Chain A
């Protein structure tokens, strides 16, 4: 009789379901598109934007490395931006203007001025928006620690993120270059066709081409790297 007992599972499958074996069970659904939606909404735009404001270390080619070093140099950049959203259905783009402050060790201040006024801040703590009561960290975004880490890593010249997600190609020279980012993953390919960045000493423009036909053009103007953070700006980052 013993011979048939070799393959005998006692307790088969009746795991302690109060603990986490059932993790498997419920994950089944949660790992699917729903998660993706939030992540797209909360992460992609800021990540891409911020990453690009100071191109991360691009270690594998000499040119990219040079560009990376060049962009990592300034501690603080002040400038103005014009954002144009070109929507297929609109003859005119949705245009907004404002100013930005990028500080190497702090983060980014994005101060939208027209057509409506709104201040944003991206730091290690997350994305915050200023209202009458001061800076409010956007709900659900504080959890997106990953995007902030990515962003900060980028600010500090650590390159691991971007090259994994995008195919990079650089053309031109130090004072007039163009960097093209093509998404690698299937997921990103369904969203973006391409991202184009141009610049010289600093970044001049960023263009996002979406698969749906819309595009966003961000132009940075009057960027300067000479000016330190003002007290108010330091206060904004500190708060």
Chain B
């Protein structure tokens, strides 16, 4: 019964398996080569290195910092708790810096203010100095006697004209956060509580595997501790999203992977009633191993998202052994090697069509899907090889006596189908099906958003929004990138942009923005201020009247005249410049560049308009771009799907002829159409991910059509094989539908629907036994 080749095959395969295992061991020598950075999975849309650098600059703090509001009715208690937590966190070793008080370096501030008296003066103050020097002097006299506004960081005798005071007062005010002068804490009052700001910067970033969980854990403990003193904590950080994502992934992996495994094993036991049949799981494990090794070999690492989606491979990989195990209903007695020989062509075809389907995913611009495609294709190959080379040897001598009830179920199903066909002929049914499809498709909405990739817990987003409300900071992910040949031109361009943004701010369309031209004015503006100062002696009599010595004023004027023109670099050096520092990108290949960051935006479309006719100004809107890519990819995915079908037809022409191949391929396409329609009827949106799911289902369900068409062992046995295969696949993919990540759940749902329709339609694959399978049966 056993051919010589069947004796050597298991050994050859074991050698290959050992080699792959060794390679895996080498790949994992420095720990798991896993990556969790989601941005690696979305298409790289920023073609330009500068834009990429700007984006990273804007994102970096998001992944390293945590902002916490410590709230209590009594401000002092809130401050005390913030201090306590600050000390604990600092001691935890997780953070590079924990800050709850303002550590202002006043001498450095004074120096910067004095140095920047010409360059940092606001446009309004500049205008007054130039156009109404008399009013300018009058206001200064008032300020000298005003007990309420007269406080300035720089003593009067160093700044008789009060320029530093004006700079102080014209600094953009942000949010509703106030300095608690006693403690130095930053406090916002809202909802009847005082909220103290606590900021922490971690040593690593959100994509470290352990750090987010440790930070989330620490926060949880701090929350509990605070709650005992009736203090409430609100926190926002990219790290927390990362931690939630990790926990969720772990949970879902357990559910999907574990659920599918348990379900499939139970199914195997119930159907075949032999413990040895559990060996059918060997190809699954080998497939996972091959997939992981191939992924790491090709990409250097494997993303956790690949693992989550890839775990659904369990259900597909187990189909290979099922193909010949299910022959035990018709082959009596059943022997492993002959059963394999009988089903080998079908298995091989199935491997090729599935791989075509999976590899079609690799041509989408999503690195995520490329990884999944490689993982799955390699995994399927591994599963196939072990099912073909190893498993029959392991199952040799197994005496399979499968339960008879599954066969009865499939016979019953076939009877029902016959009954149905007696009532309505196939064309009638087809017409009904098409009506169903048209009805559903009309209701189908398309929706694509990067946020579908993230199943962020409501509590986290709520807290972040509360923090935004309390503090008044509402940063947006969009920003402007401004390029120019030199600093002067850059500031000019930023000033032009500022004028437009100011209008938006006045219209309440934008809360605020940060731009370098707020910090330092253009060189020619600085010259104008200098000239205006020269004329000031004609107007400064009121200052002399109150007792300011003439000598002092003259000396000051001379000092001011001698101040050098400030450029961006020198303006950014002082402590006042901290918020602007990240905005400066410095010299580039063709000049200089800087960013303009935005706050509290309600209409992104307005921003694009602002930049339209400003040379060198460009809006960077990564989210918007990604969403566009999603929409475009949807179309290319549909094209890929058709292309993969053409390829599958070509492969199938050989064994089944053109007519048969077309018929076999049209069934999965019809199933996909029905799934789309069902999404419409169910009120579910069509997303890129549901489309990818259908792309996959086409490949898988071609198997069912092949299986049904080949009819090895009769219609009922073939239907049973199809049913088992569909059930196992559904067990792994269908479970993805429970994922709380919308993308994954969408994927699961569409695959589940697709599988159901594929199964229902499979019997229409035709019944004529053709030459190839006859030859096989004879073999």
Assess the A31–B285 pair: CB atoms within 8 A.
no
B257 within 8 A of A: yes
Assess the A24–B61 pair: CB atoms within 8 A.
yes
Assess the A22–B476 pair: CB atoms within 8 A.
yes
CB contacts (< 8 Å) of B450 on chain A: these are 14
CB contacts (< 8 Å) of B59 on chain A: these are 25
Closest Cβ of chain A: how far from B46's Cβ, in Å? 15
Assess the A18–B623 pair: CB atoms within 8 A.
yes
Assess the B236–A146 pair: CB atoms within 8 A.
no
Known: A28-B65, A94-B547, A115-B545. A33 touches B148 (CB 8 A): no
Contact of B246 among A9, A39, A212 (CB under 8 A): A9
Closest Cβ of chain A: how far from B106's Cβ, in Å? 4
Q: In the bound complex, how far is the Cα of B151 from the Cα of A107, in angstroms?
A: 21
CB contacts (< 8 Å) of B694 on chain A: these are none
0/1 interface trace, chain B 176-195, chain A, CB 8 Å (1 if under): 11111111101101000000
Interface with B: A56-64, A157-165, A171-179, A228-236, which one? A157-165
B150 within 8 A of A: yes
By beta carbon, the residue of chain A nearest B164 is A37
Q: In the bound complex, how far is the Cα of B241 from the Cα of A20, in angstroms?
A: 12
Contact of B453 among A14, A33, A216 (CB under 8 A): A14
How many chain A residues sit at the interface, stated as a range, is: 35 or more
Closest Cβ of chain B: how far from A42's Cβ, in Å? 7
Closest Cβ of chain A: how far from B309's Cβ, in Å? 9
0/1 interface trace, chain B 533-558, chain A, CB 8 Å (1 if under): 00000000000011111001000000
Q: In the bound complex, how far is the Cα of B76 from the Cα of A146, in angstroms?
A: 13
CB contacts (< 8 Å) of B576 on chain A: these are 33-34, 37
Known: A41-B169, A164-B183. A12 touches B62 (CB 8 A): no
Assess the B246–A7 pair: CB atoms within 8 A.
yes
Closest Cβ of chain B: how far from A188's Cβ, in Å? 6
Which B452-475 residues sit within 8 Å CB-CB of chain A?
453-456, 460-461, 464-465, 467-468, 471, 473-475
Assess the A26–B178 pair: CB atoms within 8 A.
no
Contact of B104 among A90, A187, A210, A214 (CB under 8 A): A187
Q: In the bound complex, how far is the Cα of B64 from the Cα of A21, in angstroms?
A: 11
Assess the A21–B32 pair: CB atoms within 8 A.
no
Known: A7-B250, A9-B212, A190-B106. A37 touches B171 (CB 8 A): yes
Known: A8-B253, A9-B243. A24 touches B174 (CB 8 A): no
Closest Cβ of chain B: how far from A121's Cβ, in Å? 10
By beta carbon, the residue of chain A nearest B107 is A190
Assess the B37–A17 pair: CB atoms within 8 A.
no
Contact of A12 among B146, B147, B245 (CB under 8 A): B245
Assess the A5–B148 pair: CB atoms within 8 A.
no
Assess the B76–A164 pair: CB atoms within 8 A.
yes
Which A58-82 residues sit within 8 Å CB-CB of chain B?
none
Residue of A8, A19, A127, A187 with most partner-chain B CB within 10 A:
A8
Known: A43-B181, A90-B548, A188-B182. A15 touches B62 (CB 8 A): yes
Assess the A31–B65 pair: CB atoms within 8 A.
no
Residue of A1, A2, A29, A40 with most partner-chain B CB within 10 A:
A1
Assess the B258–A2 pair: CB atoms within 8 A.
yes
B144 within 8 A of A: yes
Assess the B547–A90 pair: CB atoms within 8 A.
yes
B338 within 8 A of A: no
Known: A14-B38, A41-B168. A5 touches B468 (CB 8 A): no
Q: In the bound complex, how far is the Cα of B471 from the Cα of A29, in angstroms?
A: 14
Closest Cβ of chain B: how far from A94's Cβ, in Å? 6
Contact of A22 among B66, B475, B546 (CB under 8 A): B475
Which A179-194 residues sit within 8 Å CB-CB of chain B?
184-188, 190-191
Known: A26-B473, A165-B182. A213 touches B155 (CB 8 A): yes
CB contacts (< 8 Å) of B471 on chain A: these are 23, 27
Q: In the bound complex, how far is the Cα of B168 from the Cα of A85, in angstroms?
A: 21
Assess the A90–B109 pair: CB atoms within 8 A.
no
Interface with B: A136-144, A195-203, A219-227, which one? A136-144
Closest Cβ of chain B: how far from A115's Cβ, in Å? 6
Closest Cβ of chain B: how far from A3's Cβ, in Å? 10
Assess the A146–B187 pair: CB atoms within 8 A.
yes
CB contacts (< 8 Å) of A110 on chain B: these are 147-148
Contact of A20 among B39, B99, B184, B465 (CB under 8 A): B465
Q: In the bound complex, how far is the Cα of B152 from the Cα of A6, in angstroms?
A: 57
Assess the A29–B580 pair: CB atoms within 8 A.
yes
Interface with A: B125-133, B202-210, B320-328, B702-710, which one? B202-210
CB contacts (< 8 Å) of A118 on chain B: these are 142, 145-146
B122 within 8 A of A: no
CB contacts (< 8 Å) of B712 on chain A: these are none
By beta carbon, the residue of chain B nearest A166 is B182
Closest Cβ of chain A: how far from B296's Cβ, in Å? 11
Assess the A38–B169 pair: CB atoms within 8 A.
yes
Known: A4-B307, A31-B199, A41-B165. A9 touches B61 (CB 8 A): no
Assess the A16–B207 pair: CB atoms within 8 A.
no
Q: In the bound complex, how far is the Cα of B103 from the Cα of A166, in angstroms?
A: 18
Q: In the bound complex, how far is the Cα of B197 from the Cα of A28, in angstroms?
A: 11
Known contacts A21-B236, A29-B580, A212-B155; 8 further A-B pairs (Cβ under 8 A): A13-B238, A14-B453, A15-B456, A23-B236, A28-B61, A40-B181, A87-B157, A165-B183
Residues of A in contact with B (beta carbons under 8 Å apart): 1-2, 4-47, 49, 83, 85, 87-90, 92, 94, 96, 110, 112, 115-116, 118, 120, 122, 127, 138, 140, 143-146, 160-161, 164-166, 184-188, 190-191, 210, 212-214, 216, 218
Residues of B in contact with A (beta carbons under 8 Å apart): 32, 34, 36-39, 58-59, 61-63, 65-67, 74-76, 99, 101-106, 109, 141-142, 144-153, 155-157, 165, 168-169, 171-184, 186-187, 189, 197, 199, 205-207, 209-210, 212-213, 236-239, 241-246, 248-250, 252-254, 257-258, 285, 288-289, 292, 304-305, 307-308, 311, 450-451, 453-456, 460-461, 464-465, 467-468, 471, 473-477, 514, 545-549, 552, 575-576, 578-582, 597, 599, 623, 741, 744
Q: List 19 A-B contacts (CB under 8 A).
A: A4-B34, A5-B250, A8-B246, A10-B36, A11-B454, A12-B241, A15-B241, A18-B477, A21-B62, A23-B475, A25-B475, A28-B65, A30-B174, A35-B186, A43-B178, A118-B142, A118-B146, A187-B102, A187-B104
